[in-house]
């Protein structure tokens, strides 16, 4: 299934190399700054760029050109610009249409997607440029999600790096490869907040936090769009799915959502706003209904917030057939009504449903929508096409496409990204009381057991065999010699026999160390892949237990698009790594990690549940009126004091591993959090809200972090705050900053954060973004569950 848009794991990209050469490095984001340290990397061919404001959709000089084209268009031609079809592998129910050549010649199609062959792209484009009356180029789109052909870790893995720079570089590479193929529009990034691991699309986003999600959203947009959208290697981004899609009830894909305006603005909208601020050329309206109104027919989110409040000038495309789905949603009884409702709500382009093509002309002629409204929607489309330089350069150089793929530096970046995406969940019980990982070099015999070891890049996306990829087994063999690596599948993802398990156990018995590669097949996360059970699928748990019973040292590598509930493993397996779906260079990246060439530094961007019944599970929850506090929840309640609390009687409240957590081969100790002032003034902060980076920070917070182990390490230092006494209950903690620092053994680094006025503002009980008088806790900590806060007050 290469290049189809249905699934997150089918697009790959290439990119540029990045080598870390100094021991202290810094990444800063938003209001957070590390004041000591240097970020050093070798110049990369994929340059990290400033936001694409010049020649982007915000470029006012495009308006005159847009209007001059508009003046020449008939109503039918205008509507044509608002129509999009999938001309390749379908990724949802289709219309059955295939007469695209004729439609393009008549000016009835503005965009096509799922066409991946440059020759075919040029064929369609030639019709648009030569046969259509106004020669308006077609905009070709595709789900380029974690790379085009050089495939990076899935977005959940990329986010686990906590490194917007690497996300930007990866997206730049994806853009270069896709653009060389003729694709100038990606339906990415997915910036939906995901709090429920049952929802398979958690794999496609940056997790549960709006601050980190905003950082990642902006990084993707900058990477795809480059410094100029009209550069030949830039592509238009599409922030999706606007909005609230990740809150699907019960984690079931496409399900309804009920989200208060407060929650929507505080948690679900910020990453979209960040994408808009970064200049995203497009946004996709979501499938889900939001408080009873489908997101693809919601004037509040699409017009009031997006256009009026945020001043967005780009294009809004519906999700796949989302206009048609207004009928099953129950707010339209026929296609004409569905088209009218979506259009009037602010959906500019109709993906696939064909209902704009079928009905919009009549809707305008009957006065239900105005010509001016059509003009405005068409402006959004033309602005993107002009900003991309498509009118000047409509065709792709068919000979150049292949040359852009799989550059060595792109593979190297994919490997770095994979290495930094792994989260070491547990590391205990090696010989001599030392942790099992990293493995000692030398001539030990390794056995790789499990369904996912042969082509560990496959769980990242592309089918085995595509692109230059090395499996985990091959990477280990390269490292320790083939004769020292044996291989047993043990079981399949969903099936397996007693004999296969017995063979694997026999193999384990002969080895010095076992690498167990278990988890989900690629198609078990992503779209339409909700799960009601979050454990290991099929007979994998049996295999796990049988192998562990051999008493051999076992390293479990979990491949998945979500956290998996495997409490038995966390209790009995000495070392566990969450590898997500690591992409084209996953094999070598894992081998290097196992042997300690790299020290794991990834941290969780989602709370890892103990049991599926805890979902939705997220760190930034409210306290409730009956918080369990320090109560021991490992036992059932035994009296009134332990019962009438917000708790389960059969499971703890806390996650298996909290948001922000990730172990390392070294250890760190954190000094106390020191803040620059114990008092702030809400009135003063409100005057300075939104005044940007130049404003002197009203508060700084710092802490010393020491590498107390014996290896150099990279630590993601996190800053959280809590506000109490506000008009609306606020979360127990909210991330407001993060920095990665590299620290040598024995070294202490002072990490300093600046908190700008916005950090203290909340969406209050009147849904105004404002700072209120409050008590304030500030933590600098290694994850969302540790540390003691510094205390301050915000006076009125």
Q: Can you give the binding site for ligand BGC, defined by CB under 6 A?
A: 5, 91-92, 143, 187, 240, 319-320, 527
Cβ atoms of 585 and 408 within 8 Å: the answer is no
130 contacts: CB under 8 Å, gap ≥ 6: none
Q: Least distance in Å: CB of 14 to ligand BGC?
A: 21
Four-residue CA torsion sign, 642, 643, 645, 648: positive
Alpha carbon distance 791, 722 (integer Å): 10
Q: Least distance in Å: CB of 49 to ligand BGC?
A: 24
Q: Which is closer to ligand BGC, CB of 113 or CB of 659?
A: 113
| Interaxial angle between packed helices 371-387 and 355-365, expressed in degrees from 0 to 180 and rounded to the nearest 10 | 140
498 contacts: CB under 8 Å, gap ≥ 6: none
Told to judge if 358 belongs to the known catalytic residues of this protein, a careful annotator would answer no
Q: Parallel, antiparallel, or unpaired for β 674-675 and 734-743?
A: unpaired
Q: Which is closer to ligand BGC, CB of 201 or CB of 385?
A: 201
Q: Which is closer to ligand BGC, CB of 248 or CB of 536?
A: 248
Q: Least distance in Å: CB of 528 to ligand BGC?
A: 8
459 contacts: CB under 8 Å, gap ≥ 6: 9, 452, 519, 520, 521, 522, 559, 579, 581, 582, 586
Alpha carbon distance 592, 541 (integer Å): 26
Q: Which is closer to ligand BGC, CB of 239 or CB of 363?
A: 239
DSSP state of 602: -
Instruction: Give the residue closest to ligand BGC by C-beta.
Output: 5
Which of the residues 59, 230, 319, 758 is marked catalytic? 319
Q: Least distance in Å: CB of 256 to ligand BGC?
A: 16
DSSP notation for 631-691: --TTS---SHHHHSSSS-SSS-SS-SB-TT--B-SS-EEE---EES-SEEEHHHHHHHTT-
Q: Which is closer to ligand BGC, CB of 92 or CB of 118?
A: 92
723 contacts: CB under 8 Å, gap ≥ 6: 730, 760, 762, 772, 774, 775, 776, 794
Q: Which is closer to ligand BGC, CB of 320 or CB of 670?
A: 320
Cβ atoms of 658 and 784 within 8 Å: the answer is yes
Between the alpha carbon of residue 246 and those of residues 51, 404, 414, 497, 757, the distances in Å are 27, 34, 27, 37, 28
User: Going along 221-340, which residue ranges are E strands?
Assistant: 238-242, 282-285, 289-290, 293-294, 315-318
Alpha carbon distance 196, 250 (integer Å): 8
Between the alpha carbon of residue 114 and those of residues 4, 184, 188, 403, 680, the distances in Å are 6, 12, 14, 21, 53
Catalytic residues, by residue number, are 319
């Amino acid at each position: 299934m290469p290049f189809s848009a249905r699934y997150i794991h089918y697009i790959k990209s290439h990119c540029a190399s990045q080598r870390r050469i100094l021991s202290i490095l810094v990444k800063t984001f938003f209001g957070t700054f590390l004041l000591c340290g240097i970020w050093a990397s070798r110049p990369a061919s994929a340059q990290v760029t400033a936001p694409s404001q010049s020649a982007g959709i915000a470029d006012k000089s495009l308006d005159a050109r847009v209007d001059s084209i508009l003046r020449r268009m008939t109503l039918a031609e205008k509507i044509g610009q608002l129509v999009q079809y999938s001309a390749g592998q379908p990724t949802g129910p289709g219309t059955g249409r295939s007469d695209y050549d004729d439609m393009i010649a008549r000016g009835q199609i503005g965009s096509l997607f799922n066409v991946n062959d440059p020759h075919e792209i040029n064929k369609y484009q030639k019709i648009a440029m030569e046969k259509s009356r106004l020669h308006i180029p077609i905009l070709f789109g595709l789900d380029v999600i974690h790379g085009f052909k050089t495939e990076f870790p899935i977005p959940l893995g990329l986010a686990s790096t906590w490194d917007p720079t690497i996300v930007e570089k990866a997206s730049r590479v994806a853009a270069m490869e896709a653009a060389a193929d003729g694709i100038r529009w990606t339906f990415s990034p997915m910036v939906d907040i995901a709090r429920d691991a049952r929802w398979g699309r958690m794999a496609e986003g940056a997790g549960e936090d709006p601050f980190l999600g905003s950082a990642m959203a902006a990084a993707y947009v900058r990477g795809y769009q480059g410094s100029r959208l009209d550069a030949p290697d830039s592509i238009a981004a599409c922030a999706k799915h606007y909005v609230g899609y990740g809150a699907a009830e019960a984690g079931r894909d496409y399900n309804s959502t009920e989200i208060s305006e407060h929650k929507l603005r505080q948690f679900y909208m910020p990453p979209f706003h960040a994408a808009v601020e970064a200049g995203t050329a497009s946004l996709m309206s979501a499938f889900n209904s939001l408080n009873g109104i489908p997101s693809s027919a919601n004037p509040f989110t699409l017009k009031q917030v997006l256009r009026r409040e945020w001043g967005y000038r780009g294009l809004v495309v519906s999700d796949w057939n989302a206009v048609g789905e207004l009928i099953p949603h129950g707010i339209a009884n026929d296609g004409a009504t569905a088209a009218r409702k979506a259009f009037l709500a602010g959906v500019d382009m109709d993906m696939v449903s064909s209902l704009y093509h079928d009905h919009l002309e009549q809707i305008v002629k009957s006065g239900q929508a105005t010509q001016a409204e059509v003009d405005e929607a068409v402006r959004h489309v033309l602005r993107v096409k002009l900003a991309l330089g498509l009118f000047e350069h409509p065709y792709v150089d068919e000979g150049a496409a292949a040359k852009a793929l799989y550059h060595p530096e792109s593979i190297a970046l994919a490997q770095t990204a994979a290495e930094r995406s792994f989260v070491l969940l547990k590391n205990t019980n090696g010989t001599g009381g030392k942790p099992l990982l990293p493995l000692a070099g030398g001539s030990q015999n390794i056995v790789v057991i499990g369904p996912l070891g042969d082509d560990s890049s496959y769980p990242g996306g592309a089918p085995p065999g595509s692109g230059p990829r090395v499996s985990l087994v091959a990477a280990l063999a390269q490292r320790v010699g083939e004769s020292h690596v044996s291989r047993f599948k043990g079981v399949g993802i969903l099936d397996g026999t007693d004999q296969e398990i017995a063979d694997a156990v026999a193999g384990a018995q002969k080895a010095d160390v076992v690498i167990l590669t278990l988890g989900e097949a690629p198609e078990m996360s992503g779209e339409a892949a909700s799960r009601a059970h979050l454990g290991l699928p099929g007979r994998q748990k049996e295999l796990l237990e049988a192998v562990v019973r051999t008493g051999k040292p076992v390293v479990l590598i979990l491949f998945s698009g979500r956290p998996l509930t495997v409490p038995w493993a966390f209790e009995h397996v000495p070392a566990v790594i969450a590898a997500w779906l690591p992409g084209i260079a996953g094999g070598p990246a894992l081998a290097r990690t196992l042997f300690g060439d790299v020290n794991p530094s990834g941290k969780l961007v989602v709370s890892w549940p103990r049991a599926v019944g805890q979902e939705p599970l997220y760190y930034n929850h409210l306290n409730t009126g009956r918080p369990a506090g320090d109560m021991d929840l490992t036992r059932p309640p035994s009296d009134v004091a332990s019962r009438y609390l917000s708790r389960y009687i059969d499971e703890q409240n806390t996650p298996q591993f909290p948001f922000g957590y990730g172990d390392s081969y070294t250890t760190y100790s954190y000094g106390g959090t020191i803040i620059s002032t114990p008092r702030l003034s809400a009135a003063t902060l409100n005057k300075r809200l939104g005044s940007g980076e130049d404003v002197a920070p009203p508060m700084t917070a710092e802490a010393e972090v020491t590498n107390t182990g014996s290896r150099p390490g990279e630590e993601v230092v996190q800053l959280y705050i809590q506000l109490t006494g506000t008009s609306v209950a606020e979360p127990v903690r909210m991330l407001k900053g993060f920095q990665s620092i590299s620290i040598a053994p024995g070294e202490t680094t002072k990490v300093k954060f600046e908190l700008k006025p916005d950090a203290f503002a909340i969406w209050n009980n009147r849904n105004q973004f404002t700072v209120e008088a409050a008590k304030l806790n500030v933590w600098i900590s290694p994850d969302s569950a540790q540390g003691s806060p510094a205390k301050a007050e915000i006076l009125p």
